[in-house]
Amino acid sequence: MADYRDTALGDTTDYPSHYDAGLLYPIARQRGRDELAIQSAALPFAGFDLWTAYELSWLQPNGLPQVAIAEFTVPADSPNIIESKSLKLYLNSLNQHCINDEYELQLLLERDFSAAAGACVSVDLYRLEEFAAFKPINEPHGICLDQQNIVIDSYQRNDLTIDAAAGESVTELLYSHLLRTNCPVTDQPDWATLYIAYTGPKIDRESLLRYLVSYRSHQDFHEQCVEAITLDLLKYCQPQQLTVTARYTRRGGIDINPQRSVGPAIQHNYRQVRQ
């Protein structure tokens, strides 16, 4: 696991009372990708990280507070990810900040997040009633892995392989609600539903579930966990098309949903029930 002890991550911090874009804390993606032998200049996948911020508030010119939900789409080829607590602190710095309208707020968020990520980040703002309409809670039509009656005895990511059937090609969506990983800074648990849409040799579901559960004690950021899973699926199963999406539950009013694809991506425009 990459070592982040040389950063300010995990330090005690005060919540700001004034707007401060400098609160956003970038972390170089390459630090985690070095562990996976990935070079950012030649990524073996495409994708993005979809951040949802549920605790966004600011002041109108007349002093009346406003609230909204923001979605940040960060390209997977951006040099940096943003540490999630720093985003919470940054968003809280807007609580007493006067902004003329939502368009001005959108431009402000895009400018600050893009500067920290080192790439163009898009922001969509939703009023609460809009978010419920445009982002309904739903489940895709797929196969859940979680009710298999199998023995599990490994809870740390290791050299478990994922088996695939030679010669039998399928197109299917598999998912599990049992993915748990851990923050590399605080060791707090992070819970997610993982979706695997693919075309290629049929993946053995028992070995896949054992592999996913082996992340239960693994420490890494959300984005890097999804990249590790994507690389292992490519290595062991050799699909022609693959999309891996993790829908993590929110922590600190923010959820992070990385998606990585090889070939045309299969978009998941829904929220999972725990979100």
pLDDT in tens, 233-263: 999 999 999 999 999 999 999 999 999 999 9
Tokens of 69: 């939900």
Per this entry, what is the length of the chain? 275
The pLDDT score that the predictor gives to residue 83 is 94
Tokens of 129: 């009633």
The pLDDT score that the predictor gives to residue 37 is 94
What is the model's pTM? Answer: 0.92
The pLDDT score that the predictor gives to residue 16 is 83
CATH 3.30.1130.10, applies to 21-134: yes
CATH tag, 143-262: 3.30.1130.10
For the segment 113-155, what is each residue's pLDDT rounded down to a tens digit?
999 999 999 999 999 999 989 898 988 789 999 999 999 988 9
Q: How far is Cα 226 from Cα 193, in angstroms, rounded to an integer?
A: 11
Q: What angle do CA 152, 224, 234 make, to 5 degrees?
A: 70
The pLDDT of residue 80 is above 90: yes
* Between 11 and 219, the higher pLDDT residue: 219
Average pLDDT taken over every residue of the chain: 93
Rounded average pLDDT over 74-80: 98
The pLDDT score that the predictor gives to residue 186 is 86
> Do residues 275 and 137 make contact, with C-beta atoms less than 8 angstroms apart?
yes
Name, in order, each residue with C-beta under 8 angstroms of 85's C-beta and a sequence gap of 6 or more: 9, 13, 25, 252
- Map out the domains of the chain as residue ranges: 21-134, 143-262
Tokens of 92: 């809280």
Task: Give me the catalytic one of 49, 112, 183, 225.
Answer: 183
Tokens of 271: 């929220």
Cβ burial 39-50 (10 Å sphere, 16+ → b, else e): eeeeeebbbbbb
Task: Give me the catalytic one of 49, 112, 124, 190.
Answer: 190
The pLDDT score that the predictor gives to residue 230 is 97
Give the burial class of 137: count Cβ atoms within 10 A of its Cβ; 0-12 exposed, 13-18 middle, 19 or more buried.
exposed
Tokens of 255: 């959820």
Give the three-state DSSP class for 190: strand
The pLDDT score that the predictor gives to residue 156 is 87
* Between 246 and 166, the higher pLDDT residue: 246
Nearest Cα to Cα of residue 105 among 19, 179, 177? 19
Residue 19: CB atoms within 10 A of its CB come to 18
Give the E-state strand segments of 153-253 in sequence order. Answer: 164-182, 189-203, 241-248
For the segment 53-68, what is each residue's pLDDT rounded down to a tens digit?
999 999 999 999 999 9
Give the three-state DSSP class for 161: coil
Rounded average pLDDT over 204-213: 96
Q: Decide if 237 is catalytic.
A: no
